[in-house]
Amino acid sequence: MTKKTKKRIKNVVKILISLLIVVALFLGTAYLVVADMLKNVEYVDPDDEDFIVSQIPQDPDDVPSDVPDTDSDIIASYETIITGDLAARLPIVKSTDKITNILLVGCDSRGLNFRGRTDTMMVITINETRRKIVITSIMRDSYVLIPTVNDKNRINAAYAFGGESLLIKTIKNNIGISIDRYVTVNFAVFREFVDDLGGVDLYLEPGEFGNAYSAFLEHSVKKGRRTAEEVEALKKGGTFHATGAEALSYVRMRHTGNGDFARTERQRKFMKIMIDKFAAMPVTDIIGLLNKYLGEVRTTLSQDELMGYILKLATYLTYDMDMGRIPADGTWQYLNIGGRSMVGVDFAENLKIWNKRVYG
């Protein structure tokens, strides 16, 4: 080897070492920046219990009807499911998969005396062994027995009675899914967050342009965000670029299409849109968003756990993704109880379906 060649090799090694040092400094700085931002998160001890209230205000969307109650034999069959032996419904084969179930809760109210009902309940299951993520919406109208308060109600009332801890118990006792951690997000900042992302492209079905969303878009016209011609064109359906306020109305509207079934589907679609947006964003932009909005998050994930998930984000975005809901098709029926419409769920069958999605 000539002296000239040796010199070139030394120069290349110096350049590589310099690059490694720069990368290490960048990653180290990024780590410290993210760690500092995570201090803004509202951390909760996983073993802490929320306080329980004995009564909650009536659901403003709940208008009792004169429809006769569902036959008692049908109600009895669902009560059997609700109060049945949980162990009998758990998987027969114990999987060795590395599974984490994180409950995502979306709610407007975070007051000390009244938390409000949950608008969004999603179980995000990360299976690191099979490299897949399963996102499962839990329908708010599902008829359940809420433990501790012993109240038969919609599942979205559990949070109002006793916060996240009672909601988690309700999910486990009725559905059979054990929640490892939760993340609660305040919807009050949803609009601003979507606007900071530059808005989102949403597809509106012709049937989704109900009275509520029509009125909302007309409100956008008054605000100068959208022309009357645009709104008229959307009556036929199609893709449009939504502002934060329009996106929030889109994911929350219930009184159109197939009620909460369609709404939870829209929420899962929106979740996929957000994931794709994050996947295409520069790291610096993601850090900027985290810095601004982490203070709106309440979670039982520790700071180290959150840091771990953030560092693994790029890997998780390569995982297969499966989205569904509880109840699945063919495992539910409408119930009328005390003039209130509920969704009766065959939870035993839904647990089987969920396990197949997660472990299959």
Q: Which residue has the higher pLDDT, 215 or 45?
A: 45
Tell me phi and psi for residue 266, to 5 degrees.
-65, -40
Query: 77 near 93, Cβ under 8 Å?
Result: no
Which positions ≥6 away from 172 have C-beta within 8 Å? 86, 178, 179
Q: What is the mean pLDDT of residues 73-80?
A: 83
Backbone φ/ψ region at 339: left (φ over 0), alpha (ψ -120 to 50), beta: left
Query: Measured between alpha carbons, how far is 301 from 283 in angstroms, rounded to an integer?
Result: 22
Which residue matches tokens 């951390």? 43
| Top-confidence range, 14-28, 91-105, 202-216, 323-337 | 323-337
Average pLDDT over residues 273-297: 80
| Predicted confidence (pLDDT) per residue in 36-72, tens digit | 677 878 889 888 888 888 888 777 767 777 788 888 8
Q: What is the predicted pLDDT for the residue at 117?
A: 82
- Alpha helices, DSSP H, located in the chain: 3-37, 72-83, 86-89, 158-174, 190-196, 211-222, 228-234, 244-252, 259-280, 283-293, 303-311, 313-316, 347-359
Residue 203, number of CB atoms within 10 A of its CB: 12
Return the closest-CA partner of residue 183 out of 59, 49, 289, 298: 298
Give one DSSP letter per residue of 76-127, joined into a string.
Answer: HHHHHHHHS-HHHHS-SSPP---EEEEEEEEES---SS-----SEEEEEEEE
Asked if pLDDT for residue 311 goes beyond 90, the answer is: no
Could you report the per-residue pLDDT of 1-44, keeping only the tens digit for each?
565 565 555 555 445 554 544 444 334 444 555 666 778 788 89
Section 277-299 average pLDDT: 81
In Å, what is the CA distance from 70 to each residue of 20, 336, 340, 344, 349? Answer: 69, 5, 10, 10, 21
pLDDT value of residue 4 = 58
pLDDT of amino acid 300: 93
Torsion of CA 305, 308, 309, 312, to 10 degrees: -160
Residue owning tokens 């993210």: 34
Reply yes or no on whether the pLDDT at 133 is more than 60: yes
For residues 34 and 149, which has the higher predicted lDDT (pLDDT)?
149
Residue 255's pLDDT band (boundaries 50, 70, 90)?
low
Q: Looking at the predicted structure, is the pLDDT value of residue 196 above 90?
A: no
**Confidence band, pLDDT 50/70/90 cuts, at residue 104:** very high
Q: Burial letters for 255-271: b for 16+ Cβ neighbours within 10 Å, e otherwise?
A: ebbebbbbbbbbbbebb
Backbone angles phi, psi at 297, to 5 degrees: -105, 135
pLDDT(312) > 70:
yes
Residue 278, Cα to own-chain centre: how many angstroms?
15
- The rounded mean pLDDT for the chain is 79
- Binned at pLDDT 50, 70 and 90, residue 114 comes out as very low
Measured distance CA(57)–CA(117) in Å, rounded: 10
What residue spans define the domains of the chain? 3-38, 48-190+297-359, 200-242
pLDDT of 18 reads: 44
Range 169-173 average pLDDT: 93
Quote the CA–CA distance of 356 and 130 in Å, as a whole number: 13
Q: Is the pLDDT of residue 281 over 60?
A: yes
pLDDT at residue 154 in the model: 92
CATH architecture type of domain 48-190+297-359: 2-Layer Sandwich (3.30)
pTM: 0.81
| CA 242/CA 246 separation, integer angstroms | 6
Q: What percent of the chain has pLDDT over 70?
A: 79
Looking at the DSSP bridge assignments, the partners of residue 342 are 335
Higher pLDDT, 155 or 227: 155
CA distance 248 to 8: 59
Average pLDDT, integer, range 286-310:
84
How confident is the model at residue 350, as a pLDDT? Answer: 92
Stretch among 44-58, 89-103, 167-181 having the lowest mean pLDDT: 89-103
Closest CA to 345 of 124, 89, 138: 138
Residue 307 in tokens: 């840091």
The amino acid at residue 13 is: V
